[in-house]
Amino acid sequence: MRASRVPVLALVLLLGACSPRDGQAQSNSPGTSSSGANLPAANRAPPANAATMKVSFAPVVQRAAPAVVNISARRLVRQQTDPFWSLFGLGVPQARLAASLGSGVIVREDGIVVTNNHVVENGQEITIGLNDRREFPARILLADPRTDLAVLKVELPPGERLPVLAIDDSGDTQVGDLVLAIGNPFGVGQTVTNGIVSALNRATDPTGEAGAAYVQTDAAINPGNSGGALVDMDGDLIGVNSFILSRSGTSSGVGFAVPAEVVRRVVETAVGGGRAVVRPWLGARTQSVNADLARSLDLPTPQGALIADIYPGGPAARAGLRTGDVVLQAEGRPIVDASGLNYVVRNARPGETIPLTIRRADGRDQQLTLRADPPPATPARDERTLAGRHPFDGATVANLSPAVADELGLDPFVGQGVLVARVERGVAMNIGLRRGDIIREVNGAKIASVRDLAAAVGQPARTWRLAIERDGRIVTATFSG
């Protein structure tokens, strides 16, 4: 059975049983314990140093748990009835109330909460439940589907301050570090599980172009824990739990969390009034160096990011990168693969400079400086939702630019044209137009801009002949007017 990527909304508490020492029988009598685990609360104390902290996670939980919240999001959805009845004009969609449960983390005492976007997506009524059982309404400040993060603002009474979980800024998390995952698994209430950091900068996009990298952990994560906290032994937030890989849909010890530095960038944008996270881009296609490439390039190990193509005038071109260069380090950190390089660039703040160490095609190493700039929004977006008696009725279209392509997760090298940004209703939905389609021709007329498309569909026609680019292939179709 193939492994699947499953959003998670919780963590499950796993308790390890301790065996009696030296063959002694374990007493089950009330008030007795061979291990001391049932000592009265008065005899328990926080660990005195880092070494003794390993005896119990309780001090870490006491610090972190109050800042982890439950999130309930309700939204009205329209559900299509049996398709059979739609043949007779009776398939009227029915409205129903859907709800989702998840977790979140308070990162500012004035009520700023970060969670997963899929927990609150399209939520019309969001409620935050604190660890002390109080509940408050909340609203979405910023939703960022690219990282699956959302930032909420809790509506607090005047003067109210909430407990906060600090976002880790040390950057010293290592594979093998102990971590705790805190959330609300299956809606049973706040639960804590422990594990280790299994991997860092784990990419789920094999091309590396998405620039996404996660903290991987074996701490148990299950449905209901999305948006919950992954906490280190200092009680700091090192990640927001996002999804798992599992064949069963429940935890199999392969969970992924959005790293703290990504969380910090999204929160800073939301608090600063931004409506979207502005991400720099490299302005180049990259390829991970495999064993064959390493041999051909005379590299000692198959590590680094090969520059396969460069966007004219982009950051890579201005930095002096060339096709065939291999980026070995960025900001002094070794670049293992293409996703590592794109991760560094995308999580820099616009305008920052990134020092690079590269290997030229002739074998020389060179130092370059890349300025982290966002992709250009040229030509202007000119986004419109079209309506009328034509195939694009109900489609939202925009001029294609590197900025628009990057926002939608598309290839910025596809050139100019008109992009289908959304399809929510109308004829466009019925004929199968999709988000990401590029409109190339309408009735033989070349379409280079939204203005061209608006002019083309503004002329009545008995027949519509379309040429659409989808996934790099041109698809032609004819529809009656």
| Architecture field, domain 1-16+58-277 | Beta Barrel (2.40)
Residue 328 to residues 285, 317, 319: CA-CA distances in angstroms?
16, 17, 15
The CA distance from 205 to 208, in Å, is 6
pLDDT in tens, 136-184: 999 999 999 888 999 999 999 998 899 999 999 888 899 999 999 999 8
pLDDT in tens, 299-309: 999 999 999 99
| Of 21-35, 208-222, 288-302, the least confident | 21-35
The CA distance from 319 to 326, in Å, is 14
The angle subtended at Cα 152 by Cα 96 and Cα 179, nearest 5°, is: 105
Task: Assess whether pLDDT exceeds 80 at residue 126.
Answer: yes
Q: Where in the chain are the domains? A: 1-16+58-277, 284-371, 384-480
The CA distance from 247 to 251, in Å, is 9
Do the two domains 284-371 and 384-480 of this chain adopt the same fold?
A: yes
- What is the pLDDT averaged over residues 417-439? 91
Closest to 240 measured CA to CA, from 408, 126, 119: 119
- pLDDT of the residue at 406: 84
pLDDT band at 114 (very low <50, low <70, confident <90, very high): very high
pLDDT in tens, 315-362: 999 999 999 999 999 999 899 999 889 989 998 999 999 999 999 988
Q: What percent of the chain has pLDDT over 90?
A: 56
Give catalytic residue positions: 118, 148, 226
Do 81 and 119 touch, CB atoms closer than 8 A? no
The CA distance from 195 to 8, in Å, is 17
pLDDT band at 448 (very low <50, low <70, confident <90, very high): very high
Residue 34 to residues 16, 18, 28, 37, 101: CA-CA distances in angstroms?
16, 10, 9, 8, 40
As assigned by CATH, the class of the 384-480 domain is mainly beta
Task: Assess whether pLDDT exceeds 80 at residue 210.
Answer: no
- pLDDT of the residue at 225: 84
DSSP letter at 167? B
Do 240 and 115 touch, CB atoms closer than 8 A? yes
pLDDT band at 77 (very low <50, low <70, confident <90, very high): low
Q: What is the dihedral of CA 16, 21, 24, 30, to 10 degrees?
A: -50
**Which of the following CATH numbers is that of domain 284-371: 3.10.20.30, 2.30.42.10, 3.40.50.2000, 1.10.10.10?**
2.30.42.10
Closest to 69 measured CA to CA, from 169, 168, 136: 136
User: Buried (b) or exposed (e) across 275-300, using 16+ Cβ within 10 A?
Assistant: eebebbbbbbbbbbbeeeebeebebe
pLDDT in tens, 6-64: 444 433 333 233 333 333 333 333 333 333 334 444 555 666 776 665 568 888 999 99
